[in-house]
Structure 1
Amino acid sequence: MSRLLVVEDDPDITLALKLLFTRAGYEVAHAGSGRTGLREAYAERPDLVVLDVGLPEMDGWQVLERLRDISDVPVLMLTAHGQETEKVRGLRAGADDYLTKPFANAELLARVEALLRRSSNAASWASQVYDDGLVHLDPVQRRVYVSGEEVRLTPTEFRLLNVLVRHAGAVLSPNQLLSQAWDDPTGIGQERVKFAVLRLRRKLGWSDPEASPVQSVRGFGYRYSRPPAPDRREDAAAG
């Protein structure tokens, strides 16, 4: 049974969410403030966090930022604001999905199910270890090393990197990345991919787009360029 953590301060919405998720077969924990939510997330290790933006004292944006420092748990953000800028802000900050109040119960459950499914299948998308001398990626252990240094990635960032390196040299369109890394080609689409790639580059130390192995191909999509293999003749001469 998957365990959900609902971080919501409105008692009516909290009750409705608890009933909805419990009837759907989930175990539900609740926190009424951002600080309590962080403590619960750290102590209980939920499978998914449903996070309200408008929380007292510490709002949802602050909670998300600190949560990403300690966990890669999938996060579905709830907000009363439906502006495009708010959605972009949530995705840029590391949220895995975003839903505006009021929402349909069926849509909320479908999004939760999709996030849990993608999270549980992340390690099985490609079971073999990938290593090209620069990137070492282990899907089973969910560990990534760049130049020998371990880098912590969210589930979405891990899947995105996994897709890119497994198709090294090929240009993948935003829709292809959405379908393989998010399993969700709908929504705001290209902007979701754009900001995820920016976060991934930053975490991997590849912020300079000119030097990054993850390249933007204008009008087409993104490509991972595998580093060149060492010249064996030079190695032999040096030896």
Structure 2
Amino acid sequence: MARILAVDDDPDVLEVLRALFEPAGHDLVCADDGRAGLRALHEQRPDLMLLELGVPGMTGWAVLRRVRDLADLPVVLLTGNTGVADKVRGLRAGADDYLTKPFSPNELLARVEALLRRAGWTDVALRQVYDDGVVRIDHRTRLVTARGREVELTGTEFRLLNVLVRDAGAVLSLPDLLASVWDDPTGIAPDRVKFAVLRLRRKLGWSGNGSPLSAVRGVGYRYRPGGVGADEVSPLSSS
């Protein structure tokens, strides 16, 4: 279950969103103005935000700028303005997608779930918890523990860990990781992957020998908890 924050002052739109996302297994949190949306962002820690640019109290543009200062989560802009200039401005300001009203509910759901997968979610991950005895990832709270010790990760580190454990036992190349974690394989140097892996290993306490996250010379990286094969790794659970 993903937690989605909808910031919109139109109660009819919020009702449509609730009817769309809750039957699909997602938790919808609503706010009817910009400042309330930022409070909900802090208190609820959503996985994705739907933001109406015309919300009162604080403009949608100001909310978007503040969100990008505070959090690394997908943002979908919703607006009745069909102009291309606003779409370009929104994407350049850090939005991940843009839909004009009236929108197709099925299209919105498909776009939201595509962004969630890009952010590290999988269809199986919607069962909330990954736990293989070495690392535990609660996708709803974004709480990560390694051998029972809570670890605080950045958004990029969280996505990187999700991609690695999702394909446990497999060797993931640098281009694979760039495309899956940063979504820009042409614009980021491969060294960024190496440094991100180094930081992740240090935070998880895996910098010594016997680390479940290892480099495969000339190829990339592989995650194998306890050195077991991919077919021995515990799957995502619903607990």
Deviation string 1:183-206 (CA, Å, 9 cap, x unpaired) is 7xxxxxxxxx8xxx9xxxxxxxxx
> Is residue 79 from structure 1 mapped to residue 76 from structure 2 by the alignment?
no
How far is 1:84 from its partner?
1.3
**Matching of residues 1-239 of structure 1 within 5 Å:** 1-121=1-121, 166-167=174-175, 224=189
Deviation at 1:224, TM superposition (A): 3.8
**Alpha-carbon distance, 1:116 to partner:** 0.8
* CA shift in 2, pair 1:115/1:222, >3 Å: closer
Deviation at 1:111, TM superposition (A): 0.4
What displacement does 1:37 show?
Answer: 0.2
Q: In the alignment, is the contact (CA less than 8 A) between 1:73 and 1:154 conserved in 2? A: no
2:148 alignment counterpart: none
Change (3 A) 1:38 1:222: closer
SS at match of 1:76: strand
* Separation of aligned partners in 2, 1:223 and 1:182: 8
What is the aligned-residue identity percentage? 48
Cα deviation for residue 82 of structure 1 reads 1.7
The higher-RCO structure (CA 8 Å, 6+ apart) is: 2
Structure 1 residue 57, shift from structure 2 partner: 2.2
Q: In the TM superposition, what is the alpha-carbon distance from 1:10 to its structure 2 partner?
A: 0.6
1: CA distance, partners of 2:92 / 2:191:
26
Contact residue 72 and residue 154 of structure 1 kept, 8 A:
no
Q: Matches of 2:158 and 2:98 in 1, distance apart?
A: 16
Gaps of 5+ in 1: 123-140, 145-151, 157-164, 168-176, 184-192, 198-220, 228-239
The amino acid across from 2:45 in the alignment is: R
> Per-residue displacement from partner, 1:168-192 (whole Å, max 9, x unpaired)?
xxxxxxxxx9x76787xxxxxxxxx
Does the 8 A contact of 1:73 with 1:155 survive in 2? no
In structure 2, the CA distance between the partners of 1:154 and 1:9, relative to structure 1 (3 Å rule), is farther
Deviation digits for residues 143-185 of structure 1 (CA, Å, limit 9, x no counterpart): 78xxxxxxx87999xxxxxxxx935xxxxxxxxx9x76787xx
Does the C-alpha gap of structure 1 residues 222 and 119 become closer, same or farther in structure 2, counting only changes over 3 Å? closer
Distance verdict in 2 for CA 1:89–1:155, change over 3 Å: farther
Q: Which amino acid aligns with 2:119?
A: S
Count residues with an aligned counterpart: 155
CA distance in 2 between partners of 1:69 and 1:223 (Å): 21
User: Aligned letter for 2:6?
Assistant: V
> Is the 8 Å Cα contact of residues 53 and 60 (structure 1) preserved in structure 2?
yes
Distance in 2, matches of 1:226 and 1:116, equals: 26
Asked if the contact 1:72/1:155 (under 8 Å) is kept, the reply is no
Deviation at 1:104, TM superposition (A): 0.5
87 and 155 in structure 1: CA distance in 2 versus 1, 3 angstrom threshold: farther
Change (3 A) 1:226 1:70: closer
Flag the 1:16–1:225 CA change in 2: closer, same or farther, 3 A.
closer
- Change in Cα spacing, 1:90 to 1:6, as seen in structure 2 (3 Å) is same
Q: What is the alpha-carbon distance in structure 2 between the residues aligned to residue 182 and residue 81 of structure 1?
A: 29
Letter in 2 for 1:113: E
Q: Residues 156 and 182 of structure 2 are in contact (CA less than 8 Å); yes or no, is this contact kept in structure 1?
A: no
TM-score, normalising length: structure 2: 0.54
Distance 1:121 1:58, change over 3 A: same
CA deviation string 1:98-148 (max 9, x = no partner): 1111111110000010011111259xxxxxxxxxxxxxxxxxx8978xxxx
Shift of 1:81: 1.0
- Cα distance change on mapping 1:154 and 1:82 into 2, 3 Å: farther
